Every structure is written in structure tokens, then in C-alpha cells.
Amino acid sequence: MSILIDGKELAKITRQNLKIDCDDLKEQGIIPKLAVIMVGDNPASKVYVKNKSKACEEVGIEYEEFLLEENTTQEELINLIKELNKREDITGILLQSPIPAHLDINEAFRTISPEKDVDGFHPVNVGKLTLGQDTFVSCTPYGVIKMFEKYNIDLEGKNVVIIGRSNIVGKPLIQCCLNKNATVTVCHSRTKDIVEYTKKADIVIVAIGKAKFLKADMVKDGAVVIDVGINRGEDGKLCGDVDFENVCEKASYITPVPGGVGPMTIAMLMNNVIKAAKNK
Ligand code: NAP
């Protein structure tokens, strides 16, 4: 039976510590403030945004929401970002994805000032991460790394297999794990025999968005299993990319869904907003 990595509890402790930092900043006259832009009416995004505003409130970060209509033009979106870049009171900017298909999200991410890019998606910040320089690390990979640190899971020399290569999770995770001296393998939808890789892995991180994809016979005994996925199972309940009930019999450590990577992602967003305010 594995040890459960309690992301909910870790996130709570992180927020409590960040509150102390936030109070210190305020005493110095620096007020951390996050601007969140949401375009359209995506129900899942609404839930994520609500959770982010709740976390801000808990830490003491000021928060302002910008809700744009589904038919917003690229120019309107870019102009809003430029205006927020200029605003002295705003220390962090987040564009909630997905945005409607007619908009160019990459141009929008590029427009956010790197100093306010608390999601770590700006090419400058991605480049800094690749070079091993101090930067805003995107929140989900950062949350995963914090979990390893808090549970004393050393990555040095370990075989880490990441399944999924998205710009927001898989790719930055490669760099984060490399920076911890792991040997990293990345699998994706075109990988021929994923099991061949996962069975040899000391640590498997799955971020693909396929309910219960990673089965017990795909991992070796004692592997650490991190589940980034958020899906609705056939029973309508939230579940991850890992067949949790069976994999937990084999893994040494495992993250649950919900209550694993998700809460840590939001805690790391709070961390990045405080960092942006400190840099200021
Ligand atoms: P994404 O952009 O859709 O990327 C999915 C990745 O998975 C792609 O690289 C894709 O490969 C790969 N993939 C898809 N099906 C596969 C398969 N059958 N076998 C192997 N690889 C496969 O997704 P994302 O934004 O990274 O999100 C992934 C999951 O994590 C989603 O469930 C999402 O909701 C969740 N998520 C959770 C958090 C959190 O805070 N917990 C944060 C972000 C995302 P190709 O590149 O070849 O297409």
C-alpha cells in the first residue's frame, strides 16, 4: 500500500506561509494583486477562476477579474493585457485557458509582461527555466516538484517518465526534473510502447487527460506515481489519469485526484504572485 501525497494539506500549509510573506510585503507598502482574464463562458474555467480568487483571499492577495465576451477580438484582448502591463497596482496577470478558438493564445501569452507572467508561459520565462535560471515556473510542474521536496523524494539519478508533452505541463516538467538531476523520458500519443518505458520508471508522472489510463501492470513495484490528469469517470465522478485503486497497491507514493496536484497548482500560483510582488 502506498503513501498518499496529500496535495490539499501541503497547499494549505503553503498558503499559510505565503500569508506571512504577503503581510510583510503589505507592511512595506507593496500590495500583491492578481488580474485574471477570462474570455467566454467555459464552466470548468469558471470553477478554476473561483478557486484562484478564494486562494487569493486566503493569502491576502488582491484580486481583479476581467470577464470578456465570447466574441472578443484579438485586438481587444491584446489591448487589455497591455493596459494591465502598465497598471502599477497589478503585480501578476493570468489569462485563463482555454480561450475561444478564433483568438491567438500564444500572442496573448507573449504580450503579458514577463515580470507579471505568474503562469510562467511567456517565452522569456520558458527560456529562463530551460537555462536553469530563476524565473516563474509554470504552476502545475512547480507544484509537482514541491510535492517531491516536501515528501523527501529525491530525483537525483532517478528514471522519471513523463507521459504528456503539453506546453503547460509536460514540457516544463521535463526541465524541472532535469534541474533535479533526474534522467527524463517523455512519452506522448505517438510513443510506440509506453509500457516499455513506464515499467522501468522510478517515477511516473501522467498528464494526458485520459481517465484511469495508467494501470497497475504498467508500473514497477515501489514506483512513485504522480497524477496530473483531471477527468470525469464513467460514474460521473472526478478522476485522474491513473487507475488509482489498483496502482496504489504497487506504488510507494501516489497522488490522489481530487486533492493531489490540483490544489498545489493553485498554491504555486499564489507563490508566483508573491514572488512577482517581491521582485517589484
Ligand atoms: P493537453 O494539452 O491536451 O496535452 C495532452 C498530452 O497528452 C499531449 O502531449 C498528448 O500527446 C498526450 N496524450 C494524449 N493522449 C495520450 C495517450 N493515449 N497516450 C500518451 N500520450 C497521450 O493536456 P494538458 O493541458 O497537459 O492537460 C493534461 C491533463 O492534466 C488534463 O486532464 C488536464 O485537465 C490536467 N491538468 C491538471 C492540472 C492540475 O492542476 N491538476 C493542470 C493542468 C492540466 P501529443 O502531444 O502527441 O498530442
List the domain boundaries for the chain: 31-114, 139-261
Spatial strand order of the sheet with 92-95 comes to: 62-68, 33-39, 92-95
Ligand 1 centre to CA of 170 (Å) is 8
Q: Which ligand 1 atom sits nearest the alpha carbon of residue 240?
A: 32
Considering the segment(s) 31-114 as one domain, its CATH architecture is: 3-Layer(aba) Sandwich (3.40)
- Say how far apart CA 237 and CA 241 lie, in whole Å: 13
Tens digits of per-residue pLDDT, 156-165?
999 999 999 9
- 81-117 burial string, b = 16+ CB within 10 Å, else e? beebbeeeebbbbbbbbebbeebebeebbbbbbbbbb
**Ligand 1 cavity residues, CB under 6 Å:** 140, 163-166, 168-170, 187-190, 207-210, 228-231, 261-262, 265
| Mean pLDDT, residues 147-151 | 98
Tens digits of per-residue pLDDT, 91-106?
999 999 999 999 999 9
Which residues does the annotation mark as catalytic?
52, 96, 119
Q: What is the pLDDT of residue 163?
A: 99
For the chain, the average pLDDT equals 97
Q: Which ligand 1 atom sits nearest the alpha carbon of residue 260?
A: 41
- pLDDT band at residue 173, thresholds of 50, 70 and 90? very high
Tens digits of per-residue pLDDT, 27-45?
999 999 999 999 999 999 9
Tens digits of per-residue pLDDT, 262-273?
999 999 999 999
Same topology, domains 31-114 and 139-261? Answer is yes
Superfamily of domain 139-261: NAD(P)-binding Rossmann-like Domain (3.40.50.720)
Q: What is the pLDDT of residue 196?
A: 98
